[in-house]
């Protein structure tokens, strides 16, 4: 793999012209110093290697979404089903963004807690609703006609 000395575009080893800027890559046509061309290629190779080593953005976002999903799911027990739904959505998005083991595990935990809290919230809703209906019927039946 080599790089264009003019624009830095990544090129195949057998390229004669740069596919980005169109400059000739032959040393005799452009009066390059071959040593200088090698230095430029070495520079771009080092930058490329740095970028490859530090491209961990997906994992960071996946971990953040996993933790936020877990927090939302736990808070759903106190504040309502919509936080469980938010935790579920964040967990699913986190799994799709990052496939690494740690983030995937965090996001799975967020999804599981979300589903459990969502089910508990639904059960509480129906239990409170049915108790309210029973109390309403008791009051209605005890009133004089």
> Per residue of the chain (145 residues), what is the pLDDT tens digit?
788 877 888 888 888 888 888 887 775 344 444 445 566 667 666 766 665 554 455 567 888 888 898 898 888 888 888 888 888 898 888 888 876 666 788 888 888 999 999 898 888 888 877 777 777 777 777 877 6
Query: Residue 11 pairs with which residues in a beta bridge?
Result: 2
Query: Residue 10 pairs with which residues in a beta bridge?
Result: 3
Same domain? For 50 and 88 the reply is: no
**Which of 11, 28, 54 is the C-terminal boundary of a domain?**
54
In which domain, by residue range, is 98 found?
57-142
Same domain? For 31 and 98 the reply is: no
Same domain? For 30 and 92 the reply is: no
Same domain? For 95 and 43 the reply is: no
Q: What pTM, to 2 d.p., does this model score?
A: 0.50
Same domain? For 77 and 103 the reply is: yes
- As separate numbers, helices (DSSP H) first and strands (DSSP E) second, the chain gives 5, 2
Distance CA 116, CA 87 (A): 11
Same domain? For 66 and 128 the reply is: yes
What is the C-alpha R_g of the chain? 31
If one counts the domains in the chain, the total is: 2
Same domain? For 24 and 77 the reply is: no
Contacts of residues 78-82 at CB distance under 8 Å and 24 or more positions apart, as own/partner, are 80/121, 81/117, 81/118, 81/121, 81/122, 81/125
pLDDT in the model for residue 121 = 86
**Which of 18, 33, 54 is the C-terminal boundary of a domain?**
54
Same domain? For 89 and 36 the reply is: no
Return the closest-CA partner of residue 114 out of 136, 92, 88.
88
Same domain? For 49 and 17 the reply is: yes
Distance CA 94, CA 99 (A): 9
Residue with tokens 């070495």: 42
Same domain? For 66 and 134 the reply is: yes
């Amino acid at each position: 793999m080599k790089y264009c000395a003019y624009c830095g575009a990544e090129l195949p080893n057998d390229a004669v012209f740069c596919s980005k800027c169109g400059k000739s890559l032959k040393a005799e046509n452009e009066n390059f110093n071959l040593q200088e061309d090698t230095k430029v290629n070495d520079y771009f190779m080092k930058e490329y290697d740095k970028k490859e080593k530090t491209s961990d953005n997906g994992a960071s976002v996946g971990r953040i979404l996993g933790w936020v999903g877990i927090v939302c799911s736990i808070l759903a027990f106190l504040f309502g089903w919509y936080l469980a739904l938010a935790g579920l959505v964040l967990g699913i998005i986190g799994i799709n963004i990052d496939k690494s083991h740690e983030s995937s595990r965090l996001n799975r935990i967020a999804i599981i807690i979300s589903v459990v809290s969502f089910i508990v919230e639904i059960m509480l809703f129906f239990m409170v609703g049915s108790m309210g209906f029973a109390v309403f019927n008791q009051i209605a039946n005890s009133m004089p006609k």
